[in-house]
Amino acid sequence: MKARTKRTGSTGPIAKRQLAVHGGMTTWADCAVALRLIGSGRLLDGTELAEYERAFAREIGVSHALSFSTGRVGLYGLLLALGVGAGDDVLLQLPTHVVVPNAIRYTGARLVYVDCRVEDYNIDLAQAEQRLTPRTKVLVLQHTFGIPSDIDAACAFAERHRIVLIEDCVHSLGARFDGRAVGSFGRAAFFSTEETKTISSTMGGMVVTNDDDLVAALRLFQRRCRQPPASLTRRYLAKLVLYHALTEPHVHRFARAMYGMTGRRHALPRATIAGERRGAAKPSNYEQQLSNAQAVVVLRQLQRLDENVAHRRAVAERYETRLREAGFRTPTPTAKAEPVYVRYPVWVQDRERSLRATRRHAVLGTWFESVLEESEGLSAFGYESGSCSRAEAAAKHLVNLPTHQRVTPGDVDAIVSALAHAQPPASDDNSVDPQRQHRDSDSIA
């Protein structure tokens, strides 16, 4: 089905539909439930939170799942439960979001950054080998964009060097490796259900593990976390409803224009606060639990995960076919990986030109605009410019395409056509070839 357009004078075709880069995982029925919960006695406490944890553990195929207000809090609690602190080094792949190194910094441990591979934007284990120190205690293995990393190689790496493997699955709920769900391979894993991920509780996180001893320490940490304020939980539920409405494709182009005119100022709760972006100390209200009401709405989505994942995979397959036909290089997952593609990453020569060209059809994502997304200055996070050159190049050249359940085959075709129209010939600029970037950065190193 083709996206329908209308013509308005000399401006050319204007799409009636404009896709948001995220959304599409909620339904109007979810919104009705969220609105009822706002004024109910089940806002903070109820049986659904424990039910959600049990269902999540079953989905991943592990014994235990523990919920938190965010994935970053789950990671922080997990590191504390493992005894990570001052004197320890943690290997972390770039690019990533600034909240991940923050969770590590807050323990007192030292960050050791590792570059990505351009084939799948996951960790370069050969470089990780070079950056090991006698103090290395943990490897955080990110499955970027929902593309599973080479888990066999990562597990062998961790075992060989006697370090703990933690899977970062914030992009990858529903992805599999060698037939098993990601998150079931390391000592533990953490997930996110923030609004840009595969399912949404507006904000939320989960830690999963099969380690009974680790769970005991994590339960103590979880009980120590405070309940979120009722007012904040109501705002999360209201935001879920509002985002469902404003990201509807026939509405989004108007909503997006209004968002731009207001200078992106709004009263809704934000995912990352200023102190986190600047690399300040741990916020005083950092350690919080997930509310029961948020568990209710996200549990509904978890029960529809198979449908969600099947749609994302079908969209990604169509992107891959159309992009290859148009001469773009597409991601190359490892042999046993079954990606879920929370967004589909594309390397382009001119990001701004690509964003403008596709704007009438979709608002594309720009994960990542920095090796540490949303950071305000890299020095506060101990990053040395040039030390992860492929991640730096990816932060200049990646756009990512929506895969959520509002994306139609016609949308895919329109987006790829617009991208191809914006793309200069490859001979004009070597930066279009990420494999060339890979070779060049290797020779520099």
Please enumerate in sequence order all residues whose Cβ is within 8 A of that of 207, keeping only pairs 6 or more positions apart, or say none. Answer: 65, 66, 68, 74, 75, 77, 78, 188, 189, 190, 191, 218
118 within a domain of the structure (yes/no): yes
Q: What is the pLDDT of residues 173-203, one digit of tens each?
A: 999 999 999 999 999 999 999 999 999 999 9
247 within a domain of the structure (yes/no): no
Determine what percent of the chain is predicted with pLDDT higher than 90: 87
235 within a domain of the structure (yes/no): no
Same domain for 216 and 328, yes or no, is no
Helix (H, G, I), strand (E, B) or coil at 26: coil
pLDDT at 9 over 50: no
277 within a domain of the structure (yes/no): no
Same domain for 428 and 329, yes or no, is yes
Written as six digits, the tokens of 416 are: 């790829």
Domain containing residue 184: 28-224
Determine what percent of the chain is predicted with pLDDT higher than 70: 90
The CATH number that applies at residue 362 is: 3.90.1150.10
Same domain for 44 and 187, yes or no, is yes
Q: How many domains does the chain have?
A: 2
pLDDT confidence band for 51 (50 / 70 / 90) = very high
Helix (H, G, I), strand (E, B) or coil at 205: strand
Which one of 224, 254, 270 terminates a domain? Answer: 224
Asked if residues 393 and 433 have their Cβ atoms less than 8 Å apart, the reply is no
Please enumerate in sequence order all residues whose Cβ is within 8 A of that of 272, keeping only pairs 6 or more positions apart, or say none. Answer: 97, 98, 99, 374
Which one of 224, 250, 285 terminates a domain? Answer: 224
Same domain for 85 and 115, yes or no, is yes
Same domain for 332 and 192, yes or no, is no
pLDDT at 435 over 90: no
Q: Quick one: which of 307, 400, 317, 326 has its CA closest to 362?
A: 400
298 within a domain of the structure (yes/no): no
149 within a domain of the structure (yes/no): yes
Same domain for 63 and 202, yes or no, is yes
199 vs 213: CA distance, rounded Å: 29
94 within a domain of the structure (yes/no): yes
pLDDT at 444 over 50: no
Asked if residues 392 and 386 have their Cβ atoms less than 8 Å apart, the reply is yes
Same domain for 184 and 79, yes or no, is yes
Same domain for 90 and 208, yes or no, is yes
Which one of 187, 205, 224 terminates a domain? Answer: 224
Helix (H, G, I), strand (E, B) or coil at 413: helix
Q: What is the pLDDT of residues 138-164, one digit of tens each?
A: 999 999 999 999 999 999 999 999 999
pLDDT confidence band for 265 (50 / 70 / 90) = low
Same domain for 189 and 323, yes or no, is no
The whole-chain average pLDDT of the chain stands at 92
Tell me, what's the pLDDT at 253? Answer: 85
Same domain for 320 and 194, yes or no, is no
The CATH number that applies at residue 60 is: 3.40.640.10
pLDDT confidence band for 74 (50 / 70 / 90) = very high
Tell me, what's the pLDDT at 10? Answer: 32
pLDDT confidence band for 8 (50 / 70 / 90) = very low
Same domain for 334 and 195, yes or no, is no
Q: What is the pLDDT of residues 289-322, one digit of tens each?
A: 999 999 999 999 999 999 999 999 999 999 999 9
311 within a domain of the structure (yes/no): yes
Tell me, what's the pLDDT at 306? Answer: 98
pLDDT at 260 over 80: no
| Angle made by CA atoms 405, 341, 48, in degrees to the nearest 5 | 65
Same domain for 101 and 167, yes or no, is yes
